[in-house]
Amino acid sequence: MTDTLDRGVAGDPNWNLVPLPADRGGPDLPRLAEAVREFHDLMTGADAPPELVKEMLRQVELFNTELRGHQVPEHEQIVGRIDVPGRAQTLIPVLHIDSKEPDSLGGRVRFGRYYLGRNGAVYGGAIPLLFDSLLGRVSNGGGRNPARTAYLHVDYRSVTPIDADLRFEAHLVREEGRKRFIKGSLHHGDTLCAEAEGLFITLRAGQR
């Protein structure tokens, strides 16, 4: 398991278009997001005894009951807070951004046991999730207007291992009117694991 510091950095590029200020949810939100990620990994990898399963069910149902009383519109939810690694969302692992230019991003990511497909490899469907987020950040970064993913083409070049430090990069290839073509790649050491090309279309007036 990686340590907390290695799970993310504050100031990641946009996950939500309108990020919340840092006080929403209080000071424990970053650790909660991290604990949920670790829970996903440990739960996936466990042969938990029935008594533990029963107790987990009891406690999770308690939280669900509490949370049902705090449901809010999208722009008020605490997931999306700007200062929390990965914006506190747990659909994809935290992207650690090491280099950021107006037209490109580079960094590291680590898929935990939660993302296991088979034989130590990351589930194939998790890779496009990563690329959509990564390429979308490049598309909507650099002061450019928001755009939506029109297509995302992923080539799986080599098995992507779980529990391994991976490197990624993504860059804007060209812009043609409302179209932005972005490419990215994912590497394990010297091995190219996957590469992707996405087309992002900037929104027209009135589109959201």
Ligand X SMILES: CC(C)(COP(=O)(O)OP(=O)(O)OC[C@H]1O[C@@H](n2cnc3c(N)ncnc32)[C@H](O)[C@@H]1OP(=O)(O)O)[C@@H](O)C(=O)NCCC(=O)NCCSC(=O)Cc1ccccc1
Instruction: Kindly tell me which of 135 and 162 has the beta carbon lying closer to ligand X.
Output: 135
Q: Virtual CA dihedral for 125, 128, 132, 133, nearest 10 degrees?
A: 70
Nearer to ligand X by Cβ, of 110 and 183: the residue is 183
163 neighbors 115 (Cβ within 8 angstroms): no
> Both tokens of residue 33?
């997001």
DSSP 42: H
Q: How far is the CB of 55 from ligand X (least distance, A)?
A: 38
Which burial class, exposed, middle or buried, applies to 125 when counting CB atoms under 10 A from its CB (0-12, 13-18, 19+)? exposed
Q: How far is residue 96's CA from residue 194's CA, in Å, rounded to a whole number?
A: 18
Of 35-43, 68-76, 160-168, 196-204, the window that binds ligand X (rule: CB under 6 A) is 196-204
Q: How far is the CB of 6 from ligand X (least distance, A)?
A: 28
Token representation of residue 202 = 């900037």
* Cβ 207 to ligand X shortest distance, Å: 6
- Least separation in angstroms between residue 148's CB and ligand X is 4
Query: In the range 38-97, which residues lie near ligand X by CB under 6 A?
Result: none
Q: Which amino acid is at 57?
A: L
- Helix, strand, coil percent values for the chain (each to nearest 5): 30, 30, 40
Cross-strand pairs, 185: 169, 195
Q: How far is the CB of 167 from ligand X (least distance, A)?
A: 24
Select 57 or 150, whichever has its Cβ closest to ligand X: 150
Q: What residues numbered 133-192 form the site for ligand X, per CB under 6 A? A: 136, 146, 148-151, 178-179
Q: Which lies closer to ligand X via its Cβ, residue 127 or residue 162?
A: 127
State which residue, 117 or 146, has the beta carbon closest to ligand X. 146
Q: Using CB positions, name the residue nearest to ligand X.
A: 150
Please tell me the distance from the alpha carbon of residue 106 to that of residue 104, in angstroms, as a whole number. Answer: 7
Q: Which residues bind ligand X (CB under 6 A)?
A: 136, 146, 148-151, 178-179, 199, 201, 204
